[in-house]
Each structure stands twice: as C-alpha cells, then as structure tokens.
Amino acid sequence: MGPRSRWPAGLALFGAVLGLVFASYSTLDYAAHLDRRLHNIHCSFIPGAPPTSEAEACRAAMYSPYSALFKGQYWGGIPISLFALGAFSFLAGFALYLLLSGPRSPKKAVVFQAVVGTTPLLVSLLMLAISVIKLGEICKVCAGIYFSSTLLATGSLIGLMTLKGRGAQAMDAPPRPGINIVFPVLWLAALAVITLIPSFVYASTMPDQRPYLSTCGKLKKASESHNALIKMSTPASVQPTTLFEDPLCPTCKAFHERLVSEGVFDKLNVQLALFPLDTECNWMLDSSLHPGACTVSKAVLCGGDQARQVLEWAFHDQDYLKRAGKAGEPTLRAVIKKRWGDKMLKCIDANSTKVRLNQNLHYAADNNIPVSTPQMYLGQRRVCDEDTDLGLMYTLQQLAPQVFK
C-alpha cells in the first residue's frame, strides 16, 4: 500500500472519534430529560462547548418525531444517537486496527472498512434531508455528526483506493476455501451487536414514568359558558381535548406540528382556548413575551370555519409574524391584510372579537392555567408540561390509546 497507507485509516479514526463525541452529547442531553425536568442542551459545532438554553434548533430536533424510535413504547423513545454511539465506537476501533496494522492490514479488512464506513454517511444524508424538509433547520450537534460521518467515509474510501498500489495478494495470507468470508461475517456481527448494545442498556435502565402521568391536575370547568372557544374536529376525532395555545409561541408551533406529523391531531376533538402571551390583551402578564399575539389570536377567532387554517398559517409564518409584531401594530396588520384581506381586519377590530378573546382568557383564569403555553388536557385531565415534549407519544399511548387505533 505504500508509505502513505496509514493516513486514510487515521482520517477514518478521527471522523469516528469525532462522531462518537457528538453522538455522546446528543445522548446525554436526551437522557438528562428522563428526570422530567427541562435542561440546557449542547448545541455547538465545537466539541466541549457547554450546554446552553439558547438552542432552539437543537431542542426542536430533539423533540421531533425523527429523533427516536419506539416513542409509543418508551417515554421519549430510544434516541437514534444511541445507535450512532455504538456504530462510531466499532468503526473507531476498526480504524485504529487498520492504522496500527498499516501495510500489513489484510485486504478484506480494508474493503470491509470501506463498505461499513460509509453507512453513517448514508444515514446522515437521510437525516439531513429530514432536517431540511421536515424541520426547516439543522441542529449544530446533528451537523457535527454529519461532518464526522463524511470524514469517516472519506478515509474509508481512500483506504480502498490505495489497494490499487499493491499486489492483489501482497499482504494477504494464501487464500483458503471458506476462510475469506469468515472474518467479514464476524466483523459484521460485531458491528451489529455493538451498535445495538447502547439502546438495550438505555431501554433496560429507563425509569417508569407511568406513575407521574396523572399527577398534574384537572380542569375545574370543562366547558366555556359563552361558547367562545374554537372547535376543531374531524370525522376521525375520538378524544375530547382542550388546548391552550398562543399562535406566536414557538413551543406551541412545535407541539402542534408533532401532533399533526404523528397523525394524532385529526383524532382529537379539540376545543382551543387562545392564550396570547401579550399584555395588549392578557392582564395576567407583567410584560409581553410575544408582542402581536393578541392581534394574531383575534385573526384565528375570525377564521370561523377556517380557524385551523389561520392557526397553521400563523405557526408556519411565525418568525415573520413575530418580527412584524415587534415592529408595531401597523406592520402586523399589513401582513394579515396581505394574506387574509380587509374583511379579516374588520373582524379583528370588532368589539365582539375583543370580547370573545377576553372570554378565552377568563376561561384560562377560571381554570388556574399556568401562564405558559402550550397546555393540553385530555378530557379534564391535564397533561404535564414535560409530557408534551419528549414523552408526548408515550403519554398519549397510556392515557388515550384510542387515538392510535
């Protein structure tokens, strides 16, 4: 293989170790939330950077349906970073073996590394496509894994190319029938076992969350006396559900998108209470968290039969609407007019709409709703805040299994 035969293995080793670091951060962040509390998470391209609360993209990725498997069977599911953890561990060890062996490494070992060393890159490309198409953003830790996978695949493939520089059997033992296939099969089995071990360990040590699912209270008043709440249902709706949401709340947006992407929202018979975190209409706040949320909430109320479409438009264009809200009421009204026309603005300005939004807020106050969004009630049972994030699918499977039938 020549005097440069070691450096491709060194590059593959570096990529595998770097991927192992990023996969470890992702796994640790996931596992930290098993105590049902909110934690800062890692969200940096730089290995070793401390966790931070300013990690919207990474948190969105962690809460998304694509971050874990078996979310209905385990609280939070089995994070896919665990599989990366195992795979990178094996590939780092195998690359170290090739690095130390150098020109003496068997040809079949170099070929094996080239084949399996590209698999993390293939998975990374799939996850990158999901991040761009489904989530609309890429978390930095995820990007670190994608980059690491690229280095690993590059080193593995270059190692294969260097085989051209040596004789066909120069470094291999004389071929013996049946022997050449044994070691690749054993290596492949070892890769499978080491990749799966972290997920089995994680699943076996997870705490039982079921005792906590019903400990967060109930609605005092199941219905609103003025019929002011928004009703959303489909022919498939089977579970009465009350939601308290702010259309300019990023967490509400992510929550709604998870329900829709998992096929759950259409199974819910929803009554939506709008709870804008904006002092322009919400007297329960000292300062506005989402300026303009009152106006956008009125737009949702004015949607009538199209209330869900207006709400989902607000979620889809949330960043734009938040900037417009901070710029001032005229700017926000211009955005709403451009999308929904003058009729919508007239409805927003109507005193009846103001009264109806106030009735939504009084309904929240009468039920002592925490001043945060989203809040979810299945029937009259409140879903704990932590169970609307990582544990959402598991909680629904436990408390409302009919939505999955």
User: Please, which pLDDT band fits residue 176 given cuts at 50, 70 and 90?
Assistant: low
What distances in angstroms separate CA 84 from CA 43, 60, 120, 163, 187, one per listed residue? Answer: 17, 19, 8, 28, 17
**What is the C-alpha to C-alpha distance for residues 204 and 391, in angstroms, rounded to an integer?**
17
Domains of the chain, residue spans: 7-205, 230-404
CATH 3.40.30.10 fits 230-404, yes or no: yes
User: In this predicted model, what pLDDT tens digit does every residue of 284-307 receive, in sequence order?
Assistant: 999 999 999 999 999 999 999 999
C-alpha torsion angle, residues 9, 10, 15, 19 (rounded to 10): 100
171 pLDDT above the threshold of 50: no
Q: Kindly give the pairing relationship between strand 239-245 and strand 268-274.
A: parallel
Q: Kindly give the pairing relationship between strand 381-383 and strand 375-378.
A: antiparallel
Q: What is the pLDDT of residue 238?
A: 96
Q: What is the pLDDT of residue 17?
A: 97
**What is the SS3 assignment for 225?**
coil
For range 271-275, the mean pLDDT = 97
The mean of the pLDDT values for the chain is 92
**What is the C-alpha to C-alpha distance for residues 373 and 244, in angstroms, rounded to an integer?**
6
374 pLDDT above the threshold of 90: yes
Q: Which two tokens stand for residue 10?
A: 């060194």
User: Please, which pLDDT band fits residue 175 given cuts at 50, 70 and 90?
Assistant: low
User: In this predicted model, what pLDDT tens digit does every residue of 111-151 receive, in sequence order?
Assistant: 999 999 999 999 999 999 999 998 888 999 999 999 999 99
Q: What is the pLDDT of residue 168?
A: 40
Of 100, 103, 119, nearest in space to 188 by CA: 119
User: In this predicted model, what pLDDT tens digit does every residue of 337-368 receive, in sequence order?
Assistant: 999 999 999 999 999 999 999 999 999 999 99
User: In this predicted model, what pLDDT tens digit does every residue of 197-249 receive, in sequence order?
Assistant: 999 999 999 999 999 998 999 999 989 999 999 999 999 999 999 999 999 99
**What is the C-alpha to C-alpha distance for residues 216 and 3, in angstroms, rounded to an integer?**
66
283 pLDDT above the threshold of 70: yes
User: Please, which pLDDT band fits residue 311 given cuts at 50, 70 and 90?
Assistant: very high
For range 175-191, the mean pLDDT = 79
4 pLDDT above the threshold of 70: no
Beta strands in 130-238 (DSSP E): 230-232
Least confident of 159-163, 205-209, 259-263, 265-269: 159-163
% of the chain residues with pLDDT over 70: 95
**What is the C-alpha to C-alpha distance for residues 7 and 3, in angstroms, rounded to an integer?**
9
Q: What is the pLDDT of residue 104?
A: 86
User: What DSSP letter does each residue of 80-125 carry, written as one string?
Assistant: THHHHHHHHHHHHHHHHHHHHHGGGS-HHHHHHHHHHTTHHHHHHH
Beta strands in 233-311 (DSSP E): 239-245, 268-274
Q: What CATH number has the domain spanning 7-205? A: 1.20.1440
Q: Highest mean pLDDT: which of 47-51, 124-128, 176-180, 218-222? A: 124-128
| CA 301 distance to own-chain centroid | 29
Q: What is the pTM of this model?
A: 0.85
User: Please, which pLDDT band fits residue 3 given cuts at 50, 70 and 90?
Assistant: very low
401 pLDDT above the threshold of 60: yes
Least confident of 43-57, 331-345, 363-377: 43-57
First CA to last CA distance, the chain = 59
User: Please, which pLDDT band fits residue 174 given cuts at 50, 70 and 90?
Assistant: low
Q: What is the pLDDT of residue 405?
A: 86
For range 153-177, the mean pLDDT = 68
